[in-house]
Amino acid sequence: DTLVIATRNRGKAREFTEMLTPKGITIKTLADYPEIGEIKENGKTFEENATLKAEAIASHTQLPVLADDSGLEVAALNGDPGIYSARYAGDHDDAANNAKLLNKLAAVPADHRQAVFHTTLVLVKPNGDKLVVDGEVQGVILTAPRGENGFGYDPLFYIPSKKKTMAEMTDHEKNAISHRGRAAEKMMAQFDSWWEA
Ligand code: ITT
Ligand code: NA
């Protein structure tokens, strides 16, 4: 059973590999398809963008595809950066994105720094059968990064109940509580009936 993960983000690919390989699913990523160029993510929602990625790769590979569109929604910033999380500071540069986020929140006190990380997963088969799930995790944006694991905004995303940022967790610990882990859990609950449909 081969599933292509429509991502160029190595952090996402690593987390999905950790979650799906034990279920007996063989994973390919876009690293296996170097001929595929940039996919335009010009949708207005996480679901639209994940669907754009999934459908483009399903039609190219003729294999079942999983796409992930994610973003950070910060209450004090009216939900920004949201669907624009990857290019918040211009190019997709995690360090620049984190610096911009800290800068935007510089005057915001500790008790007003709540945020939600959101993931929408879209599974698409070449015949068009589609499955959509999402997941969220609540956290707080710190004033300085902590931890070396994870990727993206993880060093700034603190989970009070765990007393850790997501960058202070192993992949396994993060997957157990993260937006992506929760979405993947919902996906797995419906996976067999989607796969066999
Ligand atoms: P693909 O589209 O190729 O999958 P991407 O990194 O561009 O990769 P998105 O469009 O979903 O993915 O952008 C999501 C942004 O949120 C991007 O800046 C990521 O670094 C960040 N992000 C996504 N999941 C994250 C996570 O679990 N922890 C921290 N940051 C995350
Ligand atoms: Na996106």
pLDDT tens digits, one per residue of 52-79? 999 999 999 999 999 999 999 999 999 9
| CA atoms of 57 and 7, how far apart (whole Å) | 10
Whether the per-residue pLDDT at 197 is higher than 90: the answer is no
Give pLDDT tens digits for 106-120: 999 999 999 999 999
Ligand-binding annotation for 180, yes or no, is: yes
Q: Supply the range of the domain harboring residue 185.
A: 2-196
Of all protein residues, the one whose alpha carbon is nearest to atom 23 of ligand 1 is: 70
Q: Which CATH number does the domain housing residue 161 bear? A: 3.90.950.10
Q: How far apart are the first and last CA of the chain?
A: 14
CA of 152 to the centre of ligand 1 (A): 7
Give which of 148, 171, 192 is closest to 12, Cα–Cα. Answer: 171
* Total domains in the fold of the chain: 1
The pTM is what? 0.97
ipTM of the complex: 0.98
Give the side-chain half-sphere CA count within 13 A for 42: 3
| CA atoms of 144 and 147, how far apart (whole Å) | 10
Give pLDDT tens digits for 23-57: 899 999 999 999 999 999 999 999 999 999 999 99
Ligand-binding annotation for 87, yes or no, is: no
> Percent of the chain beyond pLDDT 70?
100
Tokens of 53: 């990625």
